[in-house]
Every structure is written in structure tokens, then in C-alpha cells.
Amino acid sequence: MRPGDKAPGRSGGPRLLVIAGVSSGVGKTTITLGLLEAFRRRRLVAQAFKVGPDFIDPGLHAVVSGRPSYSLDGWMCSPDHVRETVARRAAGADVALVEGVMGCFDGFDGKSEDGSTAQIAKWLGAPVVLVVDAGALARSAGAIVLGFERFDAALGLAAVIFNRVGGERHARWLADALEGACRAVPVGFLPRREDLRLAERHLGLVTGAEAVVTPALRDALARAIEEHVDLDRLLALAAPVDTRRHGRVTRSGGRRGGAAPRSARPRPKRVRLGVARDRAFQFYYPENLDRLRAAGADLIFWSPTEDATLPEVDGLYIGGGYPELYARELADNAGMREAVRRFAAANRPVYAECGGLMYLAATLEDAAGVRHPMVGILPAAVRMRTGRLTLAYSEVELTADAPLGSAGTVARGHEFHCSALDPVPAAVPRVYRLRQHHGTGGRAEGYLVGRTLMSYVHLHFGSAPGVADALVAACAL
């Protein structure tokens, strides 16, 4: 089939593949982006998903596919929630690609499969394409693939794509290493080329909002995939998505209980929720935004770096991102900082997580040690800690009523940051009991100043659907 040809009809509905890796850094994202672009050139509608709590890779997927990429996480959300998300979002697509996280079996800890790519693949009954970095391998690639097959026989390891291959002879040796030893079949490779690399920084890849996925990169990736990967065989290996699951799971289908079905509660009036979105703030789960819309919010996007003042809204949602990279622009926009401060002082609801907390702090000290004034709602400074990463799944329980719900509400999320918050005065209320994996007990977090809730935790609203309803209800007061 030529690149411009239309693929065979999808009478059986969308087809599904999981792109897993031997480890982090083997090229899962590069290959996923190349496949998305190659399928697009075949006039196929491709829907992307990402295993784990990541925001950056889904943003890159969206640039190429033109569709939001949804997160699938086996620790934050239930099996039914994951299956229903795929069924709902893949409906109407020709192919669904699920990019894995880290190594195929890596997740919550070293003993269970919670949070891993393997767990999601098995929940979905999806064939797995294993990405192997072959830059320093030849026949040993067979041993690696065989080990992955035998480690979990229930995993449907169907195919292998080799990355950073030195040439056709190297590719032939790699394929020969699998023949007769492994069930998985080699379906192609990407050559070792600098023009196929994605830019990185301290928290991972450079984001899609920063135009890292250029037309030239998309073209180079697609051409390399079309030349060296058997797309027809990949599509033949893909499994059908059971789109009949669409709509089966109620709005309380998260891992922890949630709100009652909408029919059991009066529909709130529609509200206008201001969502910070620009180069500095862009880390939002699409499902969080979808749930807010479904709960009655019209989302109004605004830029803390570029806009002169806030739009007319009933509440604010300030998500994560890279405020440390744009600290000077944020500080220089004194009019916006004052507008946010006045909005919060007027007792309007504000929910800020991670980068949003950093923006609402008193000051933000960047990696060069320069302090920049921020909004100042949270009376403490934030400092960048080069080389020290906080990365942890977190479960929060509200210990008092807050914009996200009443006391006792439980939700799950994760922390992912290289900054640290100076000690917050004891007079500032904490409304989260936060439990991190591998931790004991719980610590107080979730700073509440008036009706402004600030935390380092990125919450996935699918883990407790009631929080979206609660935030919208708070805006309606």
C-alpha cells in the first residue's frame, strides 16, 4: 500500500495496539508519533492514549493526531474506567495507539503490575508492540524479547520494532535473532538518525505547546516509518476495540466512589471556569476538562503570561506546566498577578495544582537562583532544585470542605516536580491528608486560603468523578 492510499475499510470498528518499551528512553514516543503521522497520511483517523500520569507525551500525540490524547492509569483509575475511556474515545477512529510508560512491566512498585503498561494491555486485551533500543545489540535482542515473553505469558506480545538501527544488515541480524526463538515478529525498525530525536529537558521531553513537533520532524518520522516498518502487518495484528462498552460505566466509575449518577441530582446552572493555558501552564488531563464541561462548566482559556487581565469567569483552574521557565514573564505581568490576587480575595473559588501552586506562591526562585515575585496568595517561596525530582503516586482525602468536595472525599493523582516549597505558616489550613506509595500514614497538604485550594498533586478526576461536580458547584455559589 502506498502512503497516500486509503487503508482497507474498518467494518469491524477501530483497531488497537499498545506500544511498549523495554525501558524508558528506548524511543516509544518517537515511534508512536511516527506511526500516528504515517497513519494520518494514509487518511486513517488515529486516536492516541498514554499509559501513566504523564502530560507531555499526550500533548505531543495531540499535535500529530489533531485529537486529545487520553491517559490510562491502572493505579489512579479502575479497569472499567480504562476500558470505557478507550471505547468512548476510539469510537469513530480507524486505529487506536496506546503508548506505554517506562518499561513494559514498570509501574507502582517492583512487586505488582499496578500502573504498568502490561496491566493496561491485559485489561484491554490488546496486542503489544515492544520497542527495543538496538543501538548496542545484535543477537542479544532475541534474549531480551524472549525474556519479556516469558516474564508474563498472559501478555499478548505480538511484534517488535527496533530503534536506533545501524543499517539494513544490522536490521537483518536483529530479525534473525527473534526467528525460531520468539513468538513476537519483527515488523520493522527506525534507523539511528539525529533528525529523528525529540528535544528533552529537566522533566522530560519538551512540550507540544512549544512547537517541538515541527512539520520537518513529522515528515522525517513518517518517511522513516513508511520506509522501514510494515504498517500493513501492524494493522493486521491489531485487535478490535469493543466500542459497545461506550456509555456503560456511570459517572461514579472511578477507583474510589464518586458522585451519584447525574439523574439523581439537580442539574446546576452553567458556570464560566477560567482555565490557565499557555506555554507556562498546559498540564491538564483532557478527561478532567471533559468532566468539568459535563458538570456544567464553559471553559474559558486565558494566559497568565500574555493576557492583561482575567476574563469574566466564576472560578479559576490553574494546572501544571513549566512556570519556572517563564518566571520572568509571569513576574513582569504584574497586572495579571494583581487580577488573580483580587479574584481570590473576593472569595471566588480557585483550584491550583503543581505549577499553579508555584504561580500562587509569594516568590519563585528559578534554577539560576533569581527570585521572581508571584501572585502571593500562598505565603511561602518556591525554589527550583536542580537534579532533585519528586515523582510519586498520591492519594488525597479531604479533611475539611473545599472547592473539590466535602470532607471525606478521596481522589488519586501524582506529584511530578523539581521544585520545593518553603515551610508554609501553620496558620494556613491544610485540607488534604496525603498518602504516597511507599509512605506510611499521611501528611497534611492541600493549602486552603479562603476558597483557593493549592497543592502539588495533579488529580485525575476519573479517580473520583464527584470532584468535577463539586468544583462547578463551588463556582455556581
Tell me: do 230 and 267 sit in the same domain. Answer: no
Tell me: do 237 and 360 sit in the same domain. Answer: no
Q: Tell me if 463 is assigned to some domain.
A: yes
Q: Domain limits at 217?
A: 15-245
Dist. CA 237–CA 294, nearest whole Å: 36
Q: Could you write out the DSSP letters of every residue in 346-415?
A: TT--EEEETHHHHHHEEEEE-TTS-EEE---SEEEEEEE-TT--EEEEEEEEESS-BTTBSTT-EEEEEE
Question: Which residues are registered as beta bridge partners of 20?
Answer: 130
With beta carbons less than 8 A apart as the criterion, state whether 415 and 445 touch. no
Tell me: do 32 and 67 sit in the same domain. Answer: yes
Q: Say what the pLDDT of residue 465 is.
A: 86
Q: Say what the pLDDT of residue 196 is.
A: 85
Q: Say what the pLDDT of residue 108 is.
A: 82
Q: Tell me if 8 is assigned to some domain.
A: no
* Among 256, 319, 299, CA closest to 467: 256
Tell me: do 318 and 189 sit in the same domain. Answer: no
Helix (H, G, I), strand (E, B) or coil at 217: helix
Dist. CA 456–CA 320, nearest whole Å: 9
Tell me: do 137 and 196 sit in the same domain. Answer: yes
With beta carbons less than 8 A apart as the criterion, state whether 406 and 258 touch. no
Which helix H or strand E contains 328, and what residues bound it? helix 327-332
Whole-angstrom distance between the N-terminal and C-terminal Cα of the chain?
A: 58
Q: Could you write out the DSSP letters of every residue in 233-286?
A: HHHHHPEEP-GGGTT-S-TT-SSS--PPPGGGSPPPPPEEEEEE-SSSEEE--H
Helix (H, G, I), strand (E, B) or coil at 446: strand
Q: Tell me if 9 is assigned to some domain.
A: no
Dist. CA 57–CA 444, nearest whole Å: 31
Q: Tell me if 250 is assigned to some domain.
A: no
Tell me: do 375 and 317 sit in the same domain. Answer: yes
Which residues in the chain show pLDDT less than 50? 1-6, 8-11, 201, 247-253, 255-264
Can you state the angle between helices 28-41 and 215-228, rounded to 10 degrees?
90
Q: What percent of the chain has pLDDT over 70?
A: 88
Q: Tell me if 120 is assigned to some domain.
A: yes
* Among 450, 252, 426, CA closest to 352: 450
Q: What percent of the chain has pLDDT over 90?
A: 81
Q: Say what the pLDDT of residue 436 is.
A: 78
Q: Say what the pLDDT of residue 195 is.
A: 82
What is the total count of domains within the chain?
Answer: 2
- Quote the DSSP letter at residue 92: T
Q: Say what the pLDDT of residue 416 is.
A: 87
Question: Which residues are registered as beta bridge partners of 448?
Answer: 453
Listed residues 245, 277, 312: the one ending a domain: 245
Q: Say what the pLDDT of residue 199 is.
A: 67
**Is 354 among the residues known to form the active site?**
yes
Mind listing the pLDDT tens digit for each residue in 225-259? 999 999 999 999 999 998 775 544 333 345 444 43
Q: Say what the pLDDT of residue 256 is.
A: 41
Helix (H, G, I), strand (E, B) or coil at 133: strand
Cell of 371: 527570585
Q: Say what the pLDDT of residue 50 is.
A: 98
Residue 111 makes CB contacts below 8 A (sequence gap 6+) with none
Torsion of CA 170, 172, 174, 178, to 10 degrees: -170
Dist. CA 66–CA 68, nearest whole Å: 7
Q: Say what the pLDDT of residue 389 is.
A: 72
Find the catalytic residue in 77, 104, 354, 475.
354
Pairing state between β 157-165 and 128-133: parallel
* Residue labelled with grid coordinates 491538564: 284
Q: Say what the pLDDT of residue 268 is.
A: 59
Q: Tell me if 303 is assigned to some domain.
A: yes
Q: Tell me if 252 is assigned to some domain.
A: no
Q: Say what the pLDDT of residue 269 is.
A: 79
Give backbone dihedrals phi and psi of 417, rounded to 5 degrees, phi first: -160, 155
